[in-house]
Structure 1
Amino acid sequence: MAAESDAPERGAGTEKLWNETGIDPVELHLGKDSGYTLRAYRMSDTLPGAKAEEPEPDEAEDDDEDAPEAEADADAVPEDPDADEPDPADFEDEAPEDGDEEEDALDAEPEEVPVFLTRKGKLLVFREPAALVAYVRDNDDHDLAAVDEYADLQERVTEDDIVCDEADIYELDLVVANLRGGQEGWEPELLIKAAEVGRDLGYALKNDSIVSALAPGSPLDDLDEAFRVVAEGGLKGRFAKRRLKRSDPQQAAIAWRGVIAKINDHVEWRG
C-alpha cells in the first residue's frame, strides 16, 4: 500500500505551520504516479467568485437617466393595426416552484468549500516535496493564492514540512482493485476517503461529471453512505453490511474507474 505505517511524523514546528495557515499537504496515489499537492477549506463567500454586491440604487437610477431616449424610439417596431390582441396570460410571470425557491436560498448561504493548488482547470501535483516547496515559494498565480494565509505559507514552508497526516493520504490507485475483489475484501476506510477527495476535487476542478458521479443519491454516494455506517459499527453497521452484499462489485468498480480517469485527466504532474 502507498501509505506506509512507518511514515514520518510531523514535528512541532510543522504542526504549528499547518494549523496556523489552515492549509494542509495532501498525498495522492493515482496509479501510474504519486505526488503531493495542497488543500485548504474556506467559506465560499471569502473566495473569488462570491456573489458581487448589488449597485447602489442611485447608481442604477443614474444609468437609466443617461440612456438616450432617441435611440430607444428609433429601435421601436411600429404596431401592426391588423395584429391580434395579445393574450393577457402571456404577460403573467411564471410562479416559481417551491423547490426552486429553496434551492435559491441554499445557493445564497455561504458554505465551507475545498481549495486546491489548481491552475487553469488543472490540479498541480508534485512528485517530490522539494519541487512542491520551490513552486509555492515562487508562485501565486493559482487558485490557492486566494487564501489569505498563503503568503505566510510561502515565507515559512520548507521541504521538511511536507509531511501528510494519515487522513490526507488518498490511495485512489487501490480503489478499483479493492472493489473488484468482492464485498468480503472491501476496505471501508479506503473507499470512504476516496469519495471524500473525489468530491473535493470535483468541486475544485469545476468538473460536473465527477460531481454528479458522487452527488447525493448517486450509486457511488449510496455505497459511500453504507461504508460510513459500517465503519461506525453497532447494529446499524450490521444492517449496512447486509445492504452492501446486494451491491454489484463490478458496477461499482466501473463507476469508480471513470471517476479516477477524469481526475487523472485534470492532473498536471510536476517535479
Structure 2
Amino acid sequence: MAAESDAPERGAETEKLWNETGVDPVELHLGKDSGYTLRAYRMSDTLPGAKADRDAAEDDDTVDGTDEDDDEGAEALDALDPDGDRERPEADDERVLPEDPDAGEPDPADFEDEAPEADEAEEEDALDAEPEEVPVFLTRKGKLLVFRERAALVAYVKGNDDHDLAVIDEYADLRDRVDVDDIVCDENDIYELDLVVANLRGGQEGWEPELLIKAAEAGRDLGYALKNDSVVAALAPGSPLDDLDETFRIVAEGGLKGRFAKRRLKRNDPQQAAIAWRGVIAKINDHVEWR
C-alpha cells in the first residue's frame, strides 16, 4: 500500500510544531512500499549515552589489571612473523630489577620531551573529538519504523516511547501536540529511493541530480542511524558513490563548473552506479519495519 497522496496543506500551526520540536516527518519510497517516519538532528554530545560511551572508552584500556595494548602488540608481532621465529620476551623478563645502589638520581629533565605512545594519542583525540550533528530516527532495535498511513504514525508516537527518537528532550512535547494533519512532509524530506536505480540505468543524459543528491542524503542518515557499516562505507567520503554525489551537486549549482561536471559524469559507468545503489537500497530495506 502506497503512502497517502491526499495530505493536507502544511499550515502555520504545523510549521510551528516542527520548528519548536526540531523534528520533521519524512516520506520514504522504497520499492513497492511507501510510508512515513520521523527524523531529528541533534548534537552528538546532547544524546543519552554520549558520556557513557566516553567513560567506557576510557575504561577499555585496562581489564582485570591487564593492558589490552599487550594483546594488540602480540597480534602485531604474529602478523609480522608468521613463522614464529621471532623471540618474544617472557612475562618474567618484564619484572623490575633491583636498583643499582651506585646509580644517581634520575634527572627530571630527561623525561620532559617524552610523548605519549601513538595509540594513547589516538585514543585521546577520539575522546576529545568535537561534537557533531547526527540524525535520530524513529528506530527501534535496529529497525526503522515506517508507517504506511499518517494516522498510524501519530497513534504510535502518542502511545509509545520505546524507540530511539524518545531520547530527545522535545519528544514529550511532540507526543502531546502532534496530530494527523501535521504529518505533511516538506518537499526536501521526500525521498524517492525507488526511482534511483531506474534513473541511473537510463544513462547520463537522463540522470536527475536532485533525485540522486537527496537519495545520498537519506542513505547517509539511515546508514548512521541504523548503525549499518555497509551503507555508511558505500557513501563515505572518497567512495565512488560519494564522488558521484559530489559531481551531481556541482552540476546542480550550474555555471561553468557545472558544465565541466557534466562532462565528468560521462566517465561514470551507469550500470556500475546502478548496481552499487541497488545494494545500498536493499540493505536499507532489510532494516525497515513496515507498519
Give the superposed CA RMSD.
3.1
Residues 35, 102 of structure 1: CA spacing in aligned structure 2 closer, same or farther, 3 A cutoff?
Answer: same
Write out aligned runs for 1:95-110 (5 A).
95-96=117-118, 101=122, 104-105=125-126, 108-110=129-131
Instruction: Give the percent of matched residue pairs that are identical in Structure 1 and Structure 2.
Output: 85
Using the size of structure 2 for normalisation, the TM-score is: 0.75
Residues 102, 87 of structure 1: CA spacing in aligned structure 2 closer, same or farther, 3 A cutoff?
Answer: closer
Tell me what 2:140 maps to. Answer: 119
Q: Which structure 1 residue ranges, 4+ long, deviate > 4 Å from structure 2?
A: 2-8
Residue number among 210, 231, 240 corresponding to 1:189 in the alignment: 210
State the distance in 2 between where 1:106 and 1:201 align: 24
Contact 1:3 1:169 in 2 (8 A): no
Write out aligned runs for 1:80-229 (5 A).
86=93, 95-96=117-118, 101=122, 104-105=125-126, 108-229=129-250
Query: Amino acid of the residue matched to residue 95 of structure 1?
Result: E
Secondary structure (helix, strand or coil) at the match of 1:9 reads: coil
State the distance in 1 between where 2:30 and 2:19 align: 27
Using the size of structure 1 for normalisation, the TM-score is: 0.81
Deviation at 1:219, TM superposition (A): 0.2
Tell me what 2:33 maps to. Answer: 33
Deviation at 1:232, TM superposition (A): 0.5
State the distance in 1 between where 2:263 and 2:117 align: 45
State the distance in 2 between where 1:4 and 1:128 align: 6
State the distance in 2 between where 1:269 and 1:35 align: 8
State the distance in 2 between where 1:38 and 1:236 align: 36
Contact 2:213 2:245 in 1 (8 A): yes
Instruction: Provide the aligned length of Structure 1 versus Structure 2.
Output: 240
Write out aligned runs for 1:253-264 (5 A).
253-264=274-285
Contact 2:138 2:144 in 1 (8 A): yes
State the distance in 1 between where 2:250 and 2:288 align: 32
Q: Which runs of 5+ in 2 are unaligned?
A: 60-64, 66-89, 96-113
Q: Does 1:48 align with 2:48?
A: yes
State the distance in 1 between where 2:263 and 2:192 align: 26
Q: Does 1:251 align with 2:269?
A: no
Query: Amino acid of the residue matched to residue 11 of structure 2?
Result: G
